[in-house]
C-alpha cells in the first residue's frame, strides 16, 4: 500500500509575495524611510532646545518619559517609539541589502558602455547607510547607555551632551555622520516619493527641491549643537 502523501501545498502569503518582489522591497524601504525621517525631524527639533539652557533641555528629556501618562506607564511611549524605530531601521537596512544583491546578480557582467554618471549622493548611498548604522550604535552607547561617555551622569542630559561635544572625536564622529545623513536624505526622500507614486514629470523638480531643503535643514540643525558646544555658545 502506497504511503500517504502528507505534504500540503501552501501558497505564500500576500506579505511574503510582496516582500519577495523588487517593488515590495522598494516600498518597504520607502515607508520605513519616511518613518525614520519623521523621527529625525522631531529629534532635531528636540535637540535645538539645548539653546534654551540646561533647565529647559533637561525638562524636555524628562517629559519624553512621561508622554501618555496615566494611560501609559512611565517610559512606555519612549520604548514604543524605540521599538518602531528599530523595526524601521532593520527593515530599511535588510531591504537595501537584498535589493543591492539582487541588482548585482542581475548584471554580473560589466556594461560594454559606461552608464551616465550618477550623482554623488546616489553613488554614496550604500557606504552612507553603513556609516549611519555604525553611528546609531555609537550614539546609543554615548548618550543613552552612557557607556562610551566618560564624563556622563545619569539624569543630566544637558551636561552629557556638552561632555560628548567637548571631545574632538565626539565632534568628528557626529558631524561626519550628519553629513552622511544629509546626503542619504537628499537622495532617499526623492527616491521614496518615486516609489510611492508621488513623482511625475511635473512634480519632479518640486520633489528634488524639497529633498534638498530637508537635507540642508536637518544637517544644519543637528550640526549646530556640536558647533555651539565647540564655540562656547552652549556650555
- Place 1 in a pLDDT band, splitting at 50, 70 and 90: very low
pTM of the model: 0.84
Mean pLDDT in residue range 40-52: 96
What per-residue confidence (pLDDT) applies to 125?
Answer: 74
Q: Which residue has the higher pLDDT, 212 or 102?
A: 212
For residue 138, is pLDDT > 90? yes
Mean pLDDT of 203-232: 91
pLDDT at 112: 47
Q: What is the 3-state secondary structure (H, E, C) of the chain?
A: CCCCCCCCCCCCCHHHHHHHCHHHHHHHHHHHHHHHHHHHHHHHHHHHHHHHCHHHHHHHHHHHCCCCCCCCCCCHHHHHHHHHHHHHHHHHHHHHHHHHHHHHHHCCCCCCCCCCCCCHHHHCHHHHHHHHHHHHHHHHHHHCCCCCCCCCCCCCHHHHHHHHCCCHHHHHHHHHHHHHHHHHHHHHHHHHHHHCCCCCCCCHHHHHHHHHHHHHHHHHHHHHHHHHHHHCCCC
Whole-number average pLDDT of the chain:
85
| 67-76, 86-95, 98-107, 179-188, range with the lowest pLDDT | 98-107
Amino acid at each position: 500500500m502506497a504511503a500517504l502523501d502528507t505534504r500540503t501545498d501552501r501558497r505564500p502569503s500576500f506579505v511574503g509575495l510582496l516582500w519577495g518582489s523588487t517593488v515590495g522591497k522598494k516600498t518597504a524601504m520607502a515607508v520605513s524611510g519616511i518613518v525614520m525621517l519623521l523621527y529625525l525631524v522631531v529629534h532635531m527639533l528636540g535637540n535645538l532646545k539645548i539653546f534654551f539652557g540646561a533647565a529647559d533641555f533637561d525638562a524636555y528629556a524628562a517629559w519624553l518619559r512621561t508622554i501618555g501618562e496615566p494611560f501609559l506607564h512611565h517610559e512606555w511611549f519612549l520604548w514604543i517609539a524605540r521599538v518602531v524605530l528599530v523595526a524601521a531601521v532593520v527593515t530599511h537596512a535588510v531591504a537595501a541589502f537584498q535589493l543591492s544583491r539582487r541588482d548585482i546578480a542581475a548584471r554580473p557582467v560589466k556594461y560594454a558602455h559606461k552608464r551616465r554618471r550618477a550623482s554623488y549622493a546616489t553613488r554614496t548611498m550604500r557606504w552612507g547607510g553603513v556609516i549611519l548604522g555604525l553611528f546609531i550604535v555609537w550614539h546609543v552607547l554615548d548618550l543613552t547607555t552612557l557607556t562610551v561617555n566618560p564624563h556622563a551622569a545619569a539624569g543630566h542630559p544637558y551636561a552629557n551632551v556638552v561632555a560628548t561635544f567637548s571631545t574632538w572625536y565626539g565632534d568628528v564622529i557626529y558631524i561626519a555622520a550628519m553629513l552622511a545623513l544629509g546626503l542619504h536624505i537628499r537622495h532617499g526622500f526623492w527616491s521614496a516619493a518615486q516609489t510611492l507614486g508621488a513623482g511625475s514629470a511635473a512634480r519632479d523638480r518640486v520633489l528634488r527641491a524639497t529633498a534638498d531643503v530637508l537635507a540642508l535643514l536637518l544637517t544644519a540643525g543637528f550640526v549646530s549643537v556640536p558647533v555651539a558646544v565647540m564655540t562656547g555658545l552652549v556650555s
